[in-house]
């Protein structure tokens, strides 16, 4: 049976999604070329001048990988533990115990 030592840590799983919704995205500025003939450049290139702030789009796969890594990190912080019923046998050297899910070492497997 799988249990968690700190199950309350699982409330941290939606934290990156909440931060992404509540805090605005960082808009970095890119270096620009200053020219005295900007009107002519816009005519030649066919592009309109805009402000220097740029927000990089995030790819779907990159976001999915980050979400999976975050979920694995939070689950590992919750410390999953495996508790099993033990099957014990008394022998001349003492008591030997094995989990019921593993094969008993003195039986023959077919």
- Name the H helices within 1-110: 15-22, 38-45, 60-77
Q: Which residues of the chain have pLDDT under 70?
A: 1, 27-33, 51-56, 84-87, 89, 97-110
Cα distance between residue 34 and residue 101, in whole Å: 72
**C-alpha closest to that of 9 among 58, 80, 67, 64:** 80
The confidence score (pLDDT) of residue 102 equals 53
pLDDT tens digit sequence for 7-23 = 999 999 999 989 988 98
Cα distance between residue 109 and residue 72, in whole Å: 36
CB 104 within 8 A of CB 22: no
């Amino acid at each position: 049976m799988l249990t968690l030592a700190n199950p309350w840590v699982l409330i941290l799983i939606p934290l990156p999604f909440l931060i992404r919704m509540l805090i605005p995205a960082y808009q970095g500025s890119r270096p620009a070329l200053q020219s005295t003939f900007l009107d002519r450049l816009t005519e030649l290139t066919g592009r309109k001048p805009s402000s220097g702030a740029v927000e990089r789009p995030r790819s779907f796969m990159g976001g999915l990988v980050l979400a999976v890594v975050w979920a694995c990190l939070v689950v590992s912080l919750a410390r999953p533990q495996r508790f099993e019923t033990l099957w014990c046998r008394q022998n001349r050297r003492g008591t030997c115990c094995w989990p019921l899910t593993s094969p008993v070492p003195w039986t023959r497997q077919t």
